[in-house]
């Protein structure tokens, strides 16, 4: 009798311990728990997370189409500085938002509105980093691009410093671009494909004017530019005027391969984009994405694959991050 009671006590104790460990694991996974992000992360805890974000993004893109490339660019800028942790969203005098390359970012109000709606539906559950990642995907889809499944489960970073912002530049040679992307575990196919995101959006005239009027101090335009395109951009970005110019001339609001065709034709405004055609490796990838070289690549599919890879750079999980109450401020 006594021996049987002892065995029963041991068994019950063991089951209680197993249940406690499982419960702790579930609590950890709800906040990241050290697990990698994955599709369907929120499950029943926030079943409508994707539809809520999509609804907000759709409303803002319809009212102002510039929000689509703005959100996509913001996601890139977030991921390339200390990982995809929503740190670019934090407001403050010395945060990432104040760094030169980020001062022209747009779409912060879109992410904040989505966060407000999600806090009402699923309090303290969905991170701002995940909202921005979903919003970037939805921005592509809303402009005609192909959708992809988004892994979720990132936490928000607690650090945002302007001094940490070091992004690829508009005049970078291909070698520098490859180096920067490789440092983020992205390969040359990812580089070309993600740069293809320039099929939507605009660039400030200040970034491109020199290339069209005084390339490398020569007093002449970059000779690799299509001559008819030179006069077009000079008219839109004169030396003493102009504001912004399309990154993808003729298809600025449509997510397609038009930008890559313009790279091939010497009709893009950024030097860092045009040099991709002069490098044998990146040129071959462009040709494959355009169906000009075998084996062919599907731009929509490859873009989604590369976006997933980028969205997993330096993600915060477990004790490394938090879920902010509002996206612009650390808890």
The DSSP annotation for 208-272 comes to HHHHHH-GGGSSS--TTS-HHHHHHHHHHS-TT---EEESSTT-TTS-SSHHHHHHHHT--S-HH
Cis status, amide bond into 95, omega within 30 of 0? no
CA distance linking residue 330 with residue 260, whole number of Å? 39
How many angstroms from the chain centroid is the CA of residue 154?
14
323: left (phi over 0), alpha (psi -120 to 50) or beta: beta
- The predicted-structure confidence for 275-302, as pLDDT tens digits, reads as follows 999 999 999 999 999 999 999 999 999 9
Q: Residue 25 pLDDT > 70, yes or no? A: no
- The predicted-structure confidence for 159-178, as pLDDT tens digits, reads as follows 999 999 999 999 999 999 99
CA distance linking residue 228 with residue 258, whole number of Å? 17
Q: Where are the beta strands (DSSP E) in the chain?
A: 202-204, 244-246
Residue owning tokens 């992809």: 148
- The predicted-structure confidence for 46-57, as pLDDT tens digits, reads as follows 999 999 999 999
Q: Would you say 190 is a known binding-site residue? A: no
Average pLDDT over the chain, rounded to whole?
92
Q: Would you say 320 is a known binding-site residue? A: no
pLDDT for res 314: 97
- Shortest CA distance to 77 belongs to which of 65, 94, 89? 89
Q: Residue 14 pLDDT > 60, yes or no? A: no
In this predicted model, which residue has the larger pLDDT, 207 or 10? 207
Q: Would you say 13 is a known binding-site residue? A: no
Q: Which of 38, 60, 75, 77 is catalytic?
A: 77
Q: Would you say 78 is a known binding-site residue? A: yes
CA-based Rg of the chain, rounded to a whole angstrom?
A: 23
Burial 297-316 (b: 16+ CB within 10 A, else e): bebbebbbebbbbbbbbbbb
Burial level of 94, CB count in 10 A (0-12/13-18/19+)?
A: exposed
pLDDT for res 22: 39
- The predicted-structure confidence for 86-128, as pLDDT tens digits, reads as follows 999 999 999 999 999 999 999 999 999 999 999 999 999 999 9
- Shortest CA distance to 28 belongs to which of 16, 40, 20? 20
Q: Residue 331 pLDDT > 70, yes or no? A: yes
- The predicted-structure confidence for 230-275, as pLDDT tens digits, reads as follows 999 999 999 999 999 999 999 999 999 999 999 999 999 999 999 9
Please report the domains of the chain, with CATH numbers, ordered by start residue. 48-164 (1.10.520.10), 174-310 (1.10.420.10)
Coil/strand/helix, residue 166: coil
- The predicted-structure confidence for 192-206, as pLDDT tens digits, reads as follows 999 999 999 999 999
pLDDT for res 262: 98
CA distance linking residue 80 with residue 303, whole number of Å? 17
Q: Residue 29 pLDDT > 80, yes or no? A: no
- How many residues in total does the chain contain? 331
User: Which two structure tokens, joined as six digits, stand for 121?
Assistant: 């539906």
Q: Based on the residue annotation, tell me whether 77 is a catalytic residue of this protein.
A: yes
User: Which two structure tokens, joined as six digits, stand for 18?
Assistant: 């197993």
């Amino acid at each position: 009798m006594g021996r049987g009671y002892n065995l029963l006590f041991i068994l019950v104790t063991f089951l209680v311990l197993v249940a406690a460990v499982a419960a702790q694991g579930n609590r950890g996974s709800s906040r990241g728990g050290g697990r990698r992000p994955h599709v369907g992360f929120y499950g029943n805890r926030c079943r409508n997370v994707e539809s809520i974000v999509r609804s907000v993004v759709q409303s803002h893109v319809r009212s102002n189409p510039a929000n689509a490339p703005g959100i996509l660019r913001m996601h890139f800028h977030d991921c390339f500085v200390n990982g995809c942790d929503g740190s670019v969203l934090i407001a403050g005098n010395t945060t990432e938002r104040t760094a030169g390359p980020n001062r022209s970012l747009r779409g912060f109000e879109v992410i904040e509105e989505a966060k407000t709606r999600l806090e009402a539906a699923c309090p303290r559950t969905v991170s701002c980093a995940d909202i921005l990642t979903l919003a970037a995907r939805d921005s592509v889809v809303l402009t005609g691009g192909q959708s992809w499944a988004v892994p979720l489960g990132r936490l928000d970073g607690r650090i945002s410093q302007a001094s940490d912002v070091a992004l690829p530049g508009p005049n970078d040679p291909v070698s520098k671009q490859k180096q920067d992307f490789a440092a983020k575990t992205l390969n040359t196919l990812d580089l070309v494909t993600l740069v293809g995101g320039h099929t939507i959006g605009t660039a400030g005239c200040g970034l491109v004017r020199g290339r069209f009027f005084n390339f490398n101090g020569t007093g002449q335009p970059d000779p690799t530019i299509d001559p008819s395109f030179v006069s077009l951009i000079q008219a839109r970005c004169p030396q003493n005027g102009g504001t912004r110019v399309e990154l993808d001339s003729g298809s600025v609001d449509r997510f397609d391969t038009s930008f890559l065709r313009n790279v091939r034709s010497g009709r893009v405004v950024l030097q860092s984009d045009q040099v991709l055609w002069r490098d044998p490796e990146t040129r071959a990838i462009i040709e494959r994405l355009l169906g000009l070289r075998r084996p062919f690549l599907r731009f929509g599919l490859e873009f989604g694959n590369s976006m997933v890879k980028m969205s997993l750079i330096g993600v915060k999980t477990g004790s490394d991050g938090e879920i902010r109450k509002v996206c612009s401020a650390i808890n």
